[in-house]
């Protein structure tokens, strides 16, 4: 008996770059004091007002099958939210609710790629991207973004890789770099998509976490609403990672096919979870500001600390819960630096190499420890780098 090629090749290759993360988790479980700055999970739980709304909805009986496209009131709310934030006319018919952003990413690629097609993504990348593209049986083709360009993608590089491609996946604010794409970058990306007739899949799950600059959705650019699928999620904005609720926003025709896909895959998202998401969105900005505030604060803290030395430099970034640090002056790879830091100080960060080739010589720091521990961990990281340089 043989498994499908698509499934058994979802993540080919040996070490997926997450070995160090697993090692840190193992050592922590064995009782070692490890400070973890690894994954994108808040250090606070979902706000209790959201949990109360979830509880109320469940007790009120919203525990049966929910409408597959999503509860109408939530689809309307998401549509209004996007319209208010971007100015692009959006109705519930442009929205399908998904079990988190990840399921949205998978479905969006399934909507536009057939087996054998080419889907483009940018390196460095969020860990699941290549596997998500391959899930459609497509070839996942990486395009490197370079530290010399502050990891902003360059139109010429995308154009050079676009031959035969049907889709391009972008993510701003970016995981792993924290980079927020400029208007100039997004206009150039949009131009390539229009010229080469490519679908744009825009992962905007960090859109509420902007510390510098502004979040621009490429769906707002001329001629892009009809070729852009926006991926959104409650995970990062409202610390609801475990609730698994997100959405895809796009042209009505694509959304109608995605609803059909949902009927044949997820069969929707639990009603009480959707009611909780609706409650959270209806609360307005205070909840998402409260969730984002620690990252803004720690980012300021990090900027101050980094400015006091000259070995490690911060990639110019302005959003999300991550800092990408350039460690090349230590002479070590990101992997070796991260391993030595873990061994010497019990501090775990992610090697840049875990996110592709383009971030070699860097490490990603997730700002997901409370302030004092975060400051201590980062200070130790910086002094350790100085001893190596």
Question: Which residues would be at the binding site for ligand PMP (CB under 6 A)?
Answer: 40, 100-102, 126, 171, 175, 203, 205, 233, 235, 241, 246
> Taking CA 367 as the corner, what is the angle to CA 128 and CA 142, rounded to the nearest 5 degrees?
30
Closer residue to ligand PMP in complex, CB, 247/337: 247
**In the complex, least distance from residue 343 CB atom to ligand PMP, rounded to whole angstroms:** 27
**In the complex, least distance from residue 31 CB atom to ligand PMP, rounded to whole angstroms:** 28
User: Cβ neighbours of residue 335 under 8 Å, at least 6 residues apart?
Assistant: 17, 20, 351, 353
Cα separation values, 1 from 11, 138, 229, Å: 20, 23, 37
Name the token pair of 275. Answer: 């009611």
Residue that is written with structure tokens 């483009």 in the block: 120
**In the complex, least distance from residue 204 CB atom to ligand PMP, rounded to whole angstroms:** 9
Q: Cα(379)–Cα(334) distance, rounded to whole angstroms?
A: 17
Name the token pair of 332. Answer: 């070590």
Residue that is written with structure tokens 């002056």 in the block: 329
Name the token pair of 37. Answer: 């700055």
Residue that is written with structure tokens 């970058």 in the block: 185
**In the complex, least distance from residue 174 CB atom to ligand PMP, rounded to whole angstroms:** 7
Closer residue to ligand PMP in complex, CB, 42/62: 42
Closer residue to ligand PMP in complex, CB, 101/312: 101
Q: What percent of the chain is helix, strand and coil (3-state, nearest 5)?
A: 45, 15, 40
Q: How many CA atoms lie within 13 A of 232 on its CB side?
A: 28
Q: What three-state secondary structure class fits 186?
A: helix
Closer residue to ligand PMP in complex, CB, 279/384: 279
**In the complex, least distance from residue 33 CB atom to ligand PMP, rounded to whole angstroms:** 26
Q: Cα(202)–Cα(311) distance, rounded to whole angstroms?
A: 34
**In the complex, least distance from residue 205 CB atom to ligand PMP, rounded to whole angstroms:** 5
Closer residue to ligand PMP in complex, CB, 40/250: 40
User: Cβ neighbours of residue 68 under 8 Å, at least 6 residues apart?
Assistant: 259, 262, 263, 267, 268
Closer residue to ligand PMP in complex, CB, 281/385: 281
Q: For 102-114, give one letter per residue: b (16+ CB within 10 A) or e.
A: bbbbbbbbbbbbe
Of all residues in this chain, which one has the CB nearest to ligand PMP in the complex?
A: 101
Closer residue to ligand PMP in complex, CB, 126/199: 126
**In the complex, least distance from residue 235 CB atom to ligand PMP, rounded to whole angstroms:** 3
**In the complex, least distance from residue 291 CB atom to ligand PMP, rounded to whole angstroms:** 13
* Backbone Cα Rg of the chain: 21
Closer residue to ligand PMP in complex, CB, 107/161: 107
**In the complex, least distance from residue 382 CB atom to ligand PMP, rounded to whole angstroms:** 25
User: Cβ neighbours of residue 183 under 8 Å, at least 6 residues apart?
Assistant: 216
Closer residue to ligand PMP in complex, CB, 38/333: 38
309 closest CA partner among 378, 373, 365, 248: 378
């Amino acid at each position: 008996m043989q498994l499908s090629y698509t499934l058994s090749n979802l993540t080919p290759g040996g070490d997926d770059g997450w070995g160090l993360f697993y090692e840190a988790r193992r050592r922590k479980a064995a009782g070692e004091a490890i400070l973890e700055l690894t994954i994108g999970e808040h250090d606070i739980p979902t706000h209790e007002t959201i949990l109360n709304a979830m509880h109320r909805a469940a007790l009120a009986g919203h525990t049966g099958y929910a409408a597959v496209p999503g509860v109408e009131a939530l689809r309307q709310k998401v549509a209004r939210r996007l319209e208010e934030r971007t100015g692009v006319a959006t109705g519930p018919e442009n929205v399908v609710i998904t079990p988190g952003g990840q399921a949205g990413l998978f479905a969006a690629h399934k909507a536009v790629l057939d087996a054998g097609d080419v889907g483009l993504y940018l390196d460095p990348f969020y860990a699941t991207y290549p596997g998500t593209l391959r899930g459609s049986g497509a070839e996942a083709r990486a395009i490197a973004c370079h530290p010399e360009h502050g990891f902003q993608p360059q139109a010429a590089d995308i154009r050079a890789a676009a031959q035969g491609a049907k889709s391009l996946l972008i993510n701003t604010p970016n995981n792993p770099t924290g980079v927020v794409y400029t208007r100039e970058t997004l206009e150039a990306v949009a131009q390539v998509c229009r010229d080469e007739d490519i679908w744009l899949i825009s992962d905007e799950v960090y859109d509420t976490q902007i510390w510098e600059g502004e979040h621009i959705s490429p769906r707002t650019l001329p001629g892009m609403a009809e070729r852009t699928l926006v991926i959104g999620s409650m995970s990062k904005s409202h610390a609801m990672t475990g609730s698994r609720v997100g959405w895809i926003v796009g042209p009505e025709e694509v959304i109608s096919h995605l609803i059909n896909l949902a009927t044949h895959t997820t069969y929707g998202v639990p009603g009480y979870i959707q009611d909780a998401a609706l409650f959270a969105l209806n609360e307005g900005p205070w909840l998402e500001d409260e969730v984002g505030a620690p990252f803004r604060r720690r980012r300021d803290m990090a900027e101050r600390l980094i400015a006091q030395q000259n070995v490690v430099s911060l990639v110019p970034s302005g959003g999300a819960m991550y800092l990408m640090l350039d460690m090349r002056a230590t002479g070590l790879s990101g992997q070796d630096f991260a391993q030595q830091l873990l061994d010497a100080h019990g501090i775990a960060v992610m090697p840049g190499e875990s996110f592709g080739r383009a971030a070699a010589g860097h490490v990603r720091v997730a700002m997901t420890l409370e302030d004092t521990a975060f400051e201590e961990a980062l200070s130790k990281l910086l002094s350790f780098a100085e001893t190596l340089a």
